[in-house]
Amino acid sequence: MSLQLSDIAKSITPSATLGLNATVALLKAQGEDVISLGVGEPDFDTPVHIRRAAKEAIDAGKTRYTDVKGIPELRQAIADHIFAHKSLRYSPDEIIVSSGAKQAIVLALQSVLNPGDEVILPSPYWISYTEMIKIAGGKPVIITTDPETDFLPTPAQLAEAVSERTKAIIINSPNNPTGTIWPRELLAAACELARKHDFFIISDEIYEDLCYDGYTQLSPAQISDDAKQRTILVSGFSKAYAMTGWRMGYASGPLFAIKAMGSIQSHMTGNPNSITQYAALTALTAPQDCVVDMAHSFARRRTLLLFLLAQNALRPGVMPKGAFYMLLDVRPYIGKKCDGEVIEDDGKFAEMLLKKVFVAVIPGTPFGAKGFVRLSYAVNDIQISEAVRRIKNFVTGLE
């Protein structure tokens, strides 16, 4: 037999973060005391009132197909939410609800890309973007950045990345994995390039509610009317409302693009889960104390992690201003040996760290952050302290 998979399927790398979760689960099942700083999800339970809304939705029979783009009352609530937070006016028709921000981003890419179209992707970037671009037939054009510029591209680098084939740029602020937030001037530079060369902006704002030290998140759609007309703004419920498993995200943007996303979704999954939609409606319309409380916890944990790293002479890649991740600089340990094995890169560092001291972190290379590993502080204070202690012991033992 000579059955062949498609070229696209063969080109896709499975998610390293989800792969790590499986390894951690296996080690835990074997009784090992693993601390995972690899997780990309809040450790909090979904707030009680949101869970209750889901149960009520089931009992009320809200279990049938819905409008493909989501129930109108949820799209209205999302429109109100965006207006309250960003003063951006969208009609419910300019909003689509999807099975997670992940699906919304794939739909956005599938709606705008033709085969071979280029998407500008400043690194470090969320692991899934490169694969999502490939799934949609596009080509990622990666901009390499470094800690000296806060892992942000310069306006000149953005301009250099533009070609005849540029169809979109992906902006993710606050960023996974660095925690950096794009300043207004940089957003404005990106928006001006998009205007000049007429391409889309896909803005992944999933961490918008998690900003620290007085920093705030700004959407490119807030920069100008032109920018709003070419931005597909993506966000969701996973991070702010601790609803990762519920699979609920959304996009807002120009009507023609949102319509196209709806058409694709109609054949792909149909509507997102009906029960989850009612839970999401409650999440948005109930008091927002749970979001504020969780954001405070992340802020406190970030301060604790930064303090402990500094105390142990461990270096973050860059000062994180949002999300719940930070990079740890492991370049000083590359080339050293652990039990005779050479730490040749960040991947080997992460592998040996898990093997020797049972701390799970994600290698930076798949994020475009070679020489760094990503730490998530969506874990409790005791785990943060113990993880830093173990990392310190591990690096001290390297020869």
Minimum distance from residue 128 beta carbon to ligand PLP (Å): 7
Q: Which residues, other chains included, contact 80 with Cβ-Cβ below 8 Å and sequence gap of 6+?
A: 284
User: With contact defined as beta carbons under 8 Å apart, do 94 and 258 qualify?
Assistant: yes
Supply the minimum distance, in Å, between the C-beta of residue 244 and ligand PLP.
5
Total site size for ligand PLP, rule CB under 6 A: 13
Interface with ligand PLP in residues 173-212 (CB under 6 A): 176, 204, 206
Interatomic CA distance for residues 125 and 29, integer angstroms: 31
Tell the smallest beta-carbon distance from residue 13 to ligand PLP (Å): 16
Residue choice 145, 166, 172, 265 for contact with ligand PLP (CB under 6 A): 172
Give 373's strand partners: 328, 363
**Between residue 215 and residue 244, which ones bind ligand PLP under the rule CB under 6 A?**
236, 238, 244
Q: Please, what is the minimum distance in Å from the beta carbon of residue 101 to ligand PLP? A: 3
Residue with CB nearest ligand PLP?
100
Q: Which is nearer to ligand PLP, 54 or 314 (CB)?
A: 54
Q: Is 372 one of the binding residues for ligand PLP (CB under 6 A)?
A: no
Burial (CB count within 10 angstroms: exposed 0-12, middle 13-18, buried 19+), residue 339: exposed
- State in angstroms the smallest separation of the CB of 313 from ligand PLP: 29
Point out which span in 20-28, 98-106, 219-227, 287-295 binds ligand PLP (CB under 6 A). 98-106
From the CB of residue 63, how many other CB atoms can be counted at a distance below 10 Å? 12
- CA-wise closest residue to 168 among 140, 192, 145, 143: 140
Helix, strand, coil % over all residues of the chain, rounded to 5: 45, 15, 40
Q: Which is nearer to ligand PLP, 75 or 394 (CB)?
A: 75
Min dist. Cβ of residue 181 to ligand PLP (A):
13
Site string for ligand PLP, 115-134 (x = CB under 6 A): -----------x--------
Tell me which residue has tokens 């070609």. 163
Task: Name which position in 38, 42, 47, 100 contacts ligand PLP (CB under 6 A).
Answer: 100
Q: Which of 304, 121, 387 has the alpha carbon at shortest distance from 129? A: 121
340 phi, psi to nearest 5 deg: 85, -10
Minimum distance from residue 30 beta carbon to ligand PLP (Å): 26
Q: 3-class secondary structure for 114-140?
A: CCCCEEEEECCCCCHHHHHHHHCCCEE
Residues that bind ligand PLP (CB under 6 A): 40, 100-102, 126, 172, 176, 204, 206, 236, 238, 244, 249
